Homo-oligomer: A and B are copies of this chain.
Amino acid sequence: MPTHSCVVRKVDNVASMISYTLKPVGFIRSTVKGREDAPRQGPEGAPDAWLEIEPRFAEAMLGMEVGHELIVITWLHKANRDVLKGHPRNDPNRPITGVFYTRSPARPNPLGLHPVMVRAIDGTRLKVGPIEAFDGTPVVDIKSASTRADG
């Protein structure tokens, strides 16, 4: 397969030229305004927050129900994109680890994954939790947590 092996050889050049455009579908409104408010215990201790979905995406919420489990994907706009490795949880006792093997927000494409439950629905505002994300964090996607909901 000459075409295929050609693509493989070029992967490096191609990858540094290609990019994709992510648009926010909404924003998080949370009492967590910054690092000083962030829960120390990880996502378990996080508060609920509102997702304010852009009205033009209202139809994408059709059928949404309180009590359903979702995965919210955020763009961690405050994260450093140049970090490739570090001590997990900034704990110097833990060995230096690549970011692809951790959940650190600092990574080449700072996407955040948040498994949450729907607490309330008010038009295009969705109360979910618990969620560890700063107020103002862009939401880029929302999915059913169940893979049986494959569309």
A62 touches B22 (CB 8 A): no
B151 touches A102 (CB 8 A): yes
Closest CB-CB distance, A57 to chain B, in whole Å?
6
Number of interface residues of A (CB under 8 A): 74
State how many copies of this chain the complex holds.
Answer: 2
Chain A residues touching B, majority SS:
mixed
Chain A window 89-117, contacts with chain B (Cβ cutoff 8 Å), 1 for yes, 0 for no: 11000011111111111111101010000
B151 touches A99 (CB 8 A): yes
Whether A36 is near chain B, meaning CB under 8 Å from some CB there, is no
Chain A window 44-69, contacts with chain B (Cβ cutoff 8 Å), 1 for yes, 0 for no: 00000000111111011111100010
